[in-house]
Amino acid sequence: MARAQSSSQTSYETGTAEGPLDIINLYDLEAKAREVIPKGAFGYIRGGSGDEWTLKENTRAFDDRQILPRYLAGFDAPNTEIEILGSKLDVPLFVPPMAAHGLAHVTAERGSAKGAGDAGALFCAQTLANVPLEDIAKANPGPKWFQLYFMEDQGVNRELIQRAKAAGCTAIVFTVDLEWPDNREADERNNFVFPESLTFPSIPNAPVGASLADLGDIFKKDLSFADIEFIARESGLPVVVKGLLTPDNARECVARGAAAIQVSNHGGRQLDTVPAAITALPGIVEAVDPDVPVLLDSGPRRGVHVFQALALGARAVGVGRPTLYSLALGGAPGVQSMFETLKEEFQLAMKLAGCASIQDITRRYVT
Ligand SMILES: Cc1cc2nc3c(=O)[nH]c(=O)nc-3n(C[C@H](O)[C@H](O)[C@H](O)COP(=O)(O)O)c2cc1C
């Protein structure tokens, strides 16, 4: 894979708008965001790897199943509250970890963390954030987790884990599918590098003005199950293993200390042609003990997608790119309104399918 040339960009201009969004659904966001996010950054956010087969399949695969409603269920207002690994949420939705929210808006992760929290969704702070972890935690009024890209330097891993814990993060999300970034051709075409003005304060030795491949050089390349044990021991917090797609792999991770599994293919940005997350979900749910929460990200855009994922056993559903698009278009209130749009669709799906609470959404409701 060719690496982007380092550029000498000194300033980077992106969204400053603040306010709720005028959208009918989440699909409306991409075209609007394209107009406000600089080309290279937009390509980085939107793009997938290779032929983008998995990227497209992630949303398409929801069409493989249909919802089976149960009428006359006798309620009028569904309850969408859940608790997952001790985090109480108003909706079973979360922001999965995404690098560099500063590409989308001047408030960076402060805006997205506040918007998600104000909507009652969980926020996952990331290793590759453009503002310090403590600032993200301060901006976020709700529960939060921390995603770790495991570094070669164990000292940095230890420090990140301790900082996350001190900042109030209550679980560590261990991403296992990006030891090497896959080929994302939009980034090659656009010669994309993270702008020099957007730094990664959580990583002391992060290269400046670098491509993802350059940044990836500081990630540990020989990740193993022992790393789950290390994170669990160091943090004393539940470890969520993110990026799994097969039942045997999920079982192995749980046996080595994972408290939860996040079914994900990195939004179609890593190994192309792997299955959609929603396709992989049922096998993983079946493989692990019912006490082990399974989450899903990669592809959901509709309330009915959230409903389907929950019916197939996911406890909560992550929404990636729409968060960055809505951040670009409206800062924290933009993100909040995106989540509210999705929540309204999801509540309507619950009402029409006949589910009064999250616990009611079972396998019975999908083909
Ligand atoms: C711009 C961007 C940056 C990402 N950066 C990270 C990251 O730093 N760590 C990580 O675990 N996943 C990362 N991901 C993957 C997301 O956590 C998530 O799996 C994916 O976005 C979900 O798919 P969706 O965007 O289709 O909803 C990134 C995704 C995007 C779009």
User: Does the Cβ of 242 fall within 6 Å of ligand 1?
Assistant: yes
User: Does the Cβ of 264 fall within 6 Å of ligand 1?
Assistant: yes
Distance (Å, whole) CA 121 – CA 143? 8
Mean pLDDT across 87-110 = 98
Give the nearest ligand 1 atom to 173 CA.
11
pLDDT for the residue numbered 205: 79
User: Does the Cβ of 147 fall within 6 Å of ligand 1?
Assistant: yes
Q: Per-residue pLDDT for 67 more than 50?
A: yes
Where does residue 250 fall: left (phi above 0), alpha (psi -120 to 50 degrees), or beta otherwise? alpha
Distance (Å, whole) CA 118 – CA 343? 13
pTM: 0.96
CA-CA-CA-CA torsion sign (276, 282, 285, 286): negative
And the tokens for 96? 């999965």
Q: Residue with the nearest Cα to atom 10 of ligand 1?
A: 97
Please state which of the ranges 153-157, 190-194, 207-211, 227-231 shows the lowest mean pLDDT: 207-211
Q: Per-residue pLDDT for 2 more than 70?
A: no
Q: Let me know: does 106 contact 12? Beta carbons within 8 Å.
A: no
pLDDT for the residue numbered 134: 96
Give the nearest ligand 1 atom to 266 CA.
19
Angle between helices 277-287 and 53-60 (to 10 degrees): 70
Mean pLDDT across 186-200 = 95
User: Does the Cβ of 107 fall within 6 Å of ligand 1?
Assistant: no
Ligand 1 pocket, mutate which of 29, 266, 327 (most atoms under 8 A from CB): 266
pLDDT band at 6 (very low <50, low <70, confident <90, very high): very low
Task: List the chain domain ranges.
Answer: 36-365
Measured in Å, residue 98 CA sits from the centre of ligand 1 at: 4
β-strands 87-89, 82-84 pairing: antiparallel
pLDDT for the residue numbered 216: 84
Q: Amino acid letter at 361?
A: I
User: Does the Cβ of 319 fall within 6 Å of ligand 1?
Assistant: yes
Q: Let me know: does 333 contact 15? Beta carbons within 8 Å.
A: no
Which of 207 and 19 is assigned the larger pLDDT? 19
Helical residues (DSSP H) of the chain, grouped into ranges: 28-36, 39-46, 53-60, 108-118, 133-139, 154-166, 185-190, 212-216, 225-235, 247-255, 277-287, 303-311, 321-353
Ligand 1 pocket, mutate which of 27, 53, 95, 98 (most atoms under 8 A from CB): 98
Distance (Å, whole) CA 220 – CA 162? 19
User: Does the Cβ of 54 fall within 6 Å of ligand 1?
Assistant: no
pLDDT for the residue numbered 204: 84
Q: Residue with the nearest Cα to atom 7 of ligand 1?
A: 98
Query: What's the whole-number average pLDDT of the chain?
Result: 95
pLDDT digits (tens, 9 = 90+) for 265-297: 999 999 999 999 999 999 999 999 999 999 999
Could you please report the per-residue DSSP string of 105-138? BTTHHHHHHHHHHHTT-EEEEETT-SS-HHHHHH
- Known catalytic residues are 266
Output the CA angle 201-148-296, nearest 5 degrees: 125
Strand partners, 366: 67
| CB within 8 Å of 77: residues ≥ 6 apart | none
Q: For domain 36-365, give the CATH number.
A: 3.20.20.70
What is the percent of the chain where pLDDT is above 70?
Answer: 97
Mean pLDDT across 159-187 = 95
Angle between helices 277-287 and 247-255 (to 10 degrees): 50
pLDDT digits (tens, 9 = 90+) for 207-261: 888 888 888 888 999 999 999 999 999 999 999 999 999 999 999 999 999 999 9
Q: Residue with the nearest Cα to atom 13 of ligand 1?
A: 98
pLDDT digits (tens, 9 = 90+) for 30-60: 999 999 999 999 999 999 999 999 999 999 9
Q: Residue with the nearest Cα to atom 29 of ligand 1?
A: 98
pLDDT digits (tens, 9 = 90+) for 312-328: 999 999 999 999 999 99
